[in-house]
Chain A
């Protein structure tokens, strides 16, 4: 017996948009979320402002969420995790645990939107001492400070005068196994650098990078204003290590375009951590039996590479950062595509039945 239900797994931006789109296309949607809240990583990790029009992140996530919770064709199940799956396209049976109770959901198509997690800088191959020096923090730690308008050195509670961002932490590194670019960190670091300069006008902010990847409008909306208006310094060169010097941090690298080694003291160092598949993404790939790529993300793209919503299993689709590093625009675009594919797949299955 086939089902007309679309099961969306994950309540972050991609999952929320997939659910909304599928419902608008006439699908019956069940969205399951592991936490008791919707909004995904932007909500859990206290994102302050989005690069999109400098919007308040919780407000923007709230809009995505209320489009789902207010829709009669979408059922949201919180505190729910997938435990097993059987069947095939048009007729999947998914075993879930909802609030501690086992349940069975019948669905015609499945959309995976289980997202990413931020790279754990304890695994970095460079010596950044994230777990040793309190003034070495990550983009996510800083985002929380910016949200609270309280950018201070964790070591002494004082506002930092000199802040360095180190790019590509956990990305583009063969030794780590993460050879890919995480796509968003250049934009996020630049956005945060601007926010620091706005909140602490006396501060000096530097970004140490391998390549600045400010594609599309991030160039003119973030990168150029950061340099030109907010006087953020960009230096091409990877920092090899962060050391202690008095009550400051000493960073070592090469100022490549000036062709000289450099050692500079900083009050605070921000590690621009990249994306890795979330624990949920790794687990769901196993449970549903969809292929993962060598980095653990869901293998997407279909046989010709031009079907970004397709997984290795017919009837199961993927959206957002579960398939690899992705910004909000990409995640939400992919979610719309996954919704269209899922609804179409159900119609095909029902027509065949």
Chain B
């Protein structure tokens, strides 16, 4: 354990995840730290706050790219676990934070943390990503983006309480908009041909994306894998 900061704050810190052992937290931390990109993403931190100032998410959530850079630099294992289990999903990955005078890349750290969170199938990660299973399904299986018809309250809780109201009255809202504008686009954004789809399926399997889905949402994986494998076999 010589590379870590144990008991950084033994007396005062409220450990939000006492159910997870210190060794497990340290293992995840080291997985992030040992990523070859890490040393280009984090030099040293002034704790100056320019990244927070530039961060859109920081305006709306209890989220601070500074705290992420700082906790990583200080090797504050316990804090990093809080971050990996929660904070990282408040980042929009817009990389406004790269204006750092030390040339740190807090958004890049979030990328690494997310990868570790997903690859390790953390429960909090599963919970956070559940709302997106519909998006993943659509993108990966249909080769298409989310269409207006998919705007249903249960699927996008993070879009706020208005989604329910909009969805309930969708036909009325559409009547208020000139018909031509919406012709043919409410259920799909474009048509994906079969050859493209089969290529996409191959890519999902070959690049390890399907393994990631399996780690995070096994039900979704089974659903996707069944269809994809069948289609691929048919050729």
Contact = CB atoms under 8 A, between A and B. Distances in A.
B70 A204 contact: no
Contact of A228 (B5, B8, B43, B70): B43
A265 B7 contact: yes
A262 B12 contact: yes
A233 interface: yes
A224 B44 CA distance: 7
Contacts of B9: 255, 260, 262-264
Nearest to B47: A257
Interface residues of B, number: 20
Contacts of A204: 5
Question: Which of B11, B44, B102 lies at the interface centre, i.e. has the most chain A CB atoms within 10 A of its CB?
Answer: B44
A39 B2 CA distance: 41
Nearest to B44: A227
A257 B66 contact: yes
A352 interface: no
Contact of A233 (B2, B66, B67, B74): B74
Contacts, number: 43
Nearest to B3: A231
B78 to A, nearest CB: 12
Contacts of A183: none
Contacts of A262: 8-9, 11-12
A224 B43 contact: yes
A174 to B, nearest CB: 26
A255 B10 CA distance: 13
Contacts of B66: 257
B203 interface: no
Interface in A253-267: 255, 257-258, 260-265
Q: SS class of chain B's interface: helix, strand, loop or mixed?
A: loop
Interface in B59-79: 66-67, 70, 73-74, 79
Contacts of A258: 67, 70, 79
Contacts of B47: 234, 236, 257
A257 B70 CA distance: 9
A255 B12 CA distance: 11
Interface string A235-265: 1100000000000000000010110111111
Interface string B42-61: 01110100000000000000
> Which of A204, A255, A258, A264: most chain B Cβ within 10 A?
A258
B13 interface: yes
A264 B44 contact: no
Contacts of A236: 47
A204 B1 CA distance: 12
A223 B74 CA distance: 15
Contacts of B8: 262, 264
B11 A263 contact: yes
Interface in B33-49: 43-45, 47
A265 B66 CA distance: 25
Contact of B13 (A224, A233, A234, A260): A260
Interface in A210-236: 224, 227-228, 233-236
B185 to A, nearest CB: 48
Given A255-B9, A263-B10, A227 B67 contact: no
Interface string B108-151: 00000000000000000000000000000000000000000000
A227 B5 contact: no
Contact of B2 (A202, A224, A228, A264): A202
B183 to A, nearest CB: 54
A255 B8 CA distance: 11
Nearest to B12: A261
A261 B13 CA distance: 8
B143 to A, nearest CB: 44
A44 B11 CA distance: 41
B207 to A, nearest CB: 33
A227 B43 contact: yes
A227 B70 CA distance: 12
Given A204-B5, A233-B74, A257-B70, A228 B10 contact: no
A84 B27 CA distance: 71
Nearest to A232: B44
Contacts of A261: 11-12
Nearest to B42: A228
Given A204-B5, A224-B43, A236-B47, A263 B70 contact: no
A263 to B, nearest CB: 4
Given A224-B102, A260-B12, 4 more contacts: A224-B44, A257-B66, A264-B8, A265-B7
11 contacts: A224-B102, A228-B44, A234-B47, A235-B74, A257-B66, A257-B70, A258-B79, A260-B12, A260-B13, A263-B11, A263-B12
Please list the 7 inter-chain residue pairs (A to B) with the smallest Cβ-Cβ separation, ordered nearest first. A227-B44, A263-B11, A257-B47, A228-B44, A228-B43, A261-B12, A262-B9
